[in-house]
Amino acid sequence: MTPPEAPRYRIAVHRVRGDYVAVAMTLPGCESRGVTAVEAIERVRAAIRAHLATARLLDGERAVVELEISA
């Protein structure tokens, strides 16, 4: 029996003002930047792991405070 395959995430890499930005397309707000495309991708991989860990921690929890703010 083979182990289950790890989930995969589509990443978009953009060149912005001399740096690279990697964005996890299906995880809003999950992005990172780096001096090289490889660095940005490695950093967004860590950001995805952190995002998923936080989602697991918050699963079923109610927010303490909900705010509406402008940007």
Mean pLDDT of all residues in 22-33: 95
Measured CA to CA, the distance from residue 16 to residue 10 in angstroms comes to 19
Q: What is the pLDDT of residue 6?
A: 83
Q: How many domains does the chain have?
A: 1
Measured CA to CA, the distance from residue 68 to residue 19 in angstroms comes to 32
In a domain, 40, yes or no: yes
Do strands 31-34 and 11-16 pair parallel, antiparallel, or not at all (unpaired)?
A: unpaired
In a domain, 2, yes or no: no
Residue predicted with more confidence, 63 or 23: 23
Domain range for 23:
11-55
In a domain, 37, yes or no: yes
pTM of the model: 0.79
In a domain, 63, yes or no: no
